[in-house]
């Protein structure tokens, strides 16, 4: 035995384990990166291009949160042309989870009349001067998971509104 043989360490090289560890570390980094990109895009609520959704049905346009947080403020906005109203007032009818699972805090403009029946709420608004009528409903989601419902103005087909509420 030579002098150099006495000083060398006998270490087991676990190359397969090292390769597996490298693959798992790479997968973990990709998952973290995907989570950061999704958060910046607005998938987890808040701002970002994917956080808001828009829907159009007949003359009614709606803007609402695609992703929201449980008991955090959320804004649903409805817009329609004044010409589609055809009178001095119009009715906005909401049905579904947005009626049951959405705690309404503030409505602008204030409705002249509110009628609730089951899972349906009918708001009656006076027509404001201008080319377009805008109704903003601010509230807080009171459930976790998928929230779906419809909105319609007098005699027109309903507009579907779907959101996902995170804990």
| Residue in this structure with the two tokens 């007949």, named with its chain if needed | 58
Taking the C-alpha atoms of residue 52 and residue 73, their distance in angstroms, rounded to an integer, is 14
pTM: 0.75
Q: What is the pLDDT of residue 119?
A: 83
Using DSSP's 3-state secondary structure scheme, residue 83 falls into helix
Structure tokens at 85: 């109203």
Q: What is the pLDDT of residue 136?
A: 94
DSSP state of 109: S
Cis peptide before 109 (omega within 30 of 0): yes
The β-bridge partners of 67 are 164
Q: What is the pLDDT of residue 102?
A: 86
Q: What is the pLDDT along the chain (167 residues), one digit of tens a residue?
A: 555 556 666 677 788 888 999 999 999 999 999 988 888 887 776 677 777 888 888 788 899 988 888 888 989 999 988 777 777 888 888 998 878 888 889 998 899 999 888 888 999 988 888 788 899 999 999 999 998 989 988 778 888 989 898 88
Using DSSP's 3-state secondary structure scheme, residue 89 falls into strand
Q: Which residues of 26-55 are buried (b: 16+ CB within 10 A; e: fewer)?
A: eeeeeeeeeeeeeeeebbbbeebeebeeee
Structure tokens at 96: 């579904």
Q: What is the pLDDT of residue 25?
A: 95
| Residue in this structure with the two tokens 């009715």, named with its chain if needed | 91
């Amino acid at each position: 035995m030579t002098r150099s043989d006495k000083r060398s360490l006998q270490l087991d090289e676990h190359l397969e384990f090292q390769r597996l560890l490298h693959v798992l570390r790479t997968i973990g980094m990709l998952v973290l990166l995907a989570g950061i990109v999704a958060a910046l895009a607005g998938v987890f609520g808040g701002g970002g291009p994917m956080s808001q959704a828009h829907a159009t049905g007949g003359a009614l346009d709606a803007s609402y949160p695609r992703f929201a947080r449980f008991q955090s403020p959320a804004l649903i906005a409805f817009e329609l042309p004044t010409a589609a109203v055809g009178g001095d007032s119009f009715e906005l009818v909401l049905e579904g989870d947005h009626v049951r699972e959405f705690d309404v805090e503030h409505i602008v403009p204030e409705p002249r009349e509110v009628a609730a029946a089951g899972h349906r709420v009918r708001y009656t608004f006076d027509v404001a001067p201008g080319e377009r009528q805008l109704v903003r409903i601010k509230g807080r989601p009171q459930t976790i998971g998928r929230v779906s419902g419809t909105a319609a103005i007098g005699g027109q087909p309903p507009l579907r509104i779907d959101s996902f509420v995170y804990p």
